[in-house]
Amino acid sequence: MTEWHSTVTPPALARLLRTAQAPAGPGHPVYRALARQVQLLLTDGRLPVGTRMPAERELAAALAVSRTTIAAAYDALRETGYLHSRRGSGSWTALPEGSRPPVDALFPVPPEGAGQVIDLGAATPPAPQPLFTEATARAVEQLPAYAQGHGHYPTGIPALREAVADRFTQRGLPTTPDQILITSGAMSALVLVFGALLRPGERVAVETPSYAHVLQALRNTGARLVPVPQRRDDPCGMPRWDLTEWRQVMRGAAPRLAYVIPDFHNPTGALIDEQQRRDLLAAARSAGTLVVVDETMAELAWRDPALQLPRPTAGLDRAAQLITVGSASKLAWGGLRVGWVRAAPALIRQLAAERLHHDHGTAVLEQLICAHLLGERLPALRELRLGQLRAGAEALLPALRERLPQWRFAEPAGGITLWVDTGGLSGTAIARAGERTGVRVAPGALFGLDGAFEGFVRLPLTVPPAAAAQTVERLAATAELAAREDGRGWAGTLGTAAALAV
């Protein structure tokens, strides 16, 4: 369970409840409808697990119902595991036991199994050809000159640091190579940052949903995660940051770090505008919170190449404490384990020193390949990759709408992931059914805290156009199998939730 309890006020909860469709009717008492609405808010992440609920009398006044109705709704939630209470301490939201998804859903399918299994768990594109082969050949030509030395570059080879710094500068954030540390992928960069700057028990504010591997990396440090739900004004619209919630968390939890993905968020695909970024940085600056910005997807504006992208977040508030992490994996290739950290030179030196205890540096050959791809070949690389993603999306999204019309999603402007509301079917049930139908699916609960987002799945936008129809047909068969086995809807996966059905 989450270690920090936010508090939802009666008016705020009343507004949220109006967005969760579970009407009362003949044979369905109001208290059961209210309990079902709270359940829906929890499982799609709009009400964080661990939120302290209003007192019965206060919520009754806000909803204009009797206190007896609220007490009965709370009792129903307690009986089914969605509410925990302690005398004298109040009640806070929870999820039932047994709601954890398969932990291996994001493991890539080994090459030898790729012919039998459609892998929708790993959102990674193939290498961009012929650019990758050309860059590799040039890197091999240069490698002998580096082979004369020890080969250890704790901060990265100069050519790649310069290429990454130049790209930041081109995007509107003047950067010098001494502000760049090259790592073995973005996850390596984040683990290094978390290990150097976090102590066990310190709080970290995270968007929910968020990138599953980063959530686990933070848990591994002993951090106490503070969830901040994204806001959706339209159930089918693209989410954005809820600055009211962020300010409350910054003031109330005083997190040491905040981890955000403002550029084509993984998994939702959201692109945060500059004003929201400024507002978040102002709140973090007031709270003394260090912001870690993940820009792994920042170059992937595939829907409209002419889209005016926000400037890098680090350039919007120079007074804020901020670290930027990026990667070549999505734009170039996942097999190139190259990422980077952009921060103040003093912190870069500190991180390089910390790194020596477990990692002497990224492979020189991979850095040379990246230096070519991110240097003079960057325009061609972006054009190739964005064209592939655009073509894939243009084939996949219409097929999903036609074959699975009950599944809802907001079409992103970029990135590499699609966040899909499965219309009440358990994402975990779909993932388990996929083990038999030959499709690997990442259930939404992997991207939340404590099992939230059970009614979602994440799909990659890297499906080749020629494979889109077959992929969606297999998804549809998987959904049908999951629905038969989970006949009460996704609540059945949680075991005891059937009592809340209306």
Residues of the chain with CATH 3.40.640.10: 186-327
Of 97, 96, 98, 4, residue with least CA distance to 50: 4
pLDDT for position 493: 36
C-alpha to C-alpha distance for 399 and 119, rounded to whole angstroms: 17
C-alpha to C-alpha distance for 166 and 338, rounded to whole angstroms: 17
DSSP state of 497: G
Rounded percentage of the chain residues whose pLDDT exceeds 90:
66
Assess whether pLDDT exceeds 90 at residue 99. no
pLDDT tens digits, one per residue of 391-434: 999 999 999 999 999 999 999 999 999 999 998 898 888 998 99
Residues of the chain with CATH 3.90.1150.10: 111-123+380-491
Burial label for 403, CB within 10 Å (0-12, 13-18, 19+), is middle
Domain 10-94 matching CATH 1.10.10.10: the answer reads: yes
pLDDT for position 191: 96
Assess whether pLDDT exceeds 50 at residue 1. no
pLDDT for position 388: 95
In CATH, the architecture of 186-327 is 3-Layer(aba) Sandwich (3.40)
Residues of the chain with CATH 1.10.10.10: 10-94
Q: Which phi and psi angles does 92 have, rounded to 5°?
A: -140, 155
pLDDT tens digits, one per residue of 375-386: 989 999 999 999
- Sort strands 456-460 and 439-443 into parallel, antiparallel or unpaired: antiparallel
C-alpha to C-alpha distance for 204 and 215, rounded to whole angstroms: 10
pLDDT for position 497: 31
Nearby residues of 456 by Cβ (< 8 Å), 6 or more positions away: 44, 209, 419, 420, 421, 422, 427, 443, 444, 447
| 111-123+380-491 CATH, one of 3.90.1150.10, 3.20.20.140, 3.40.50.300, 3.60.15.10 | 3.90.1150.10
Contact 269, 456 (CB under 8 A): no
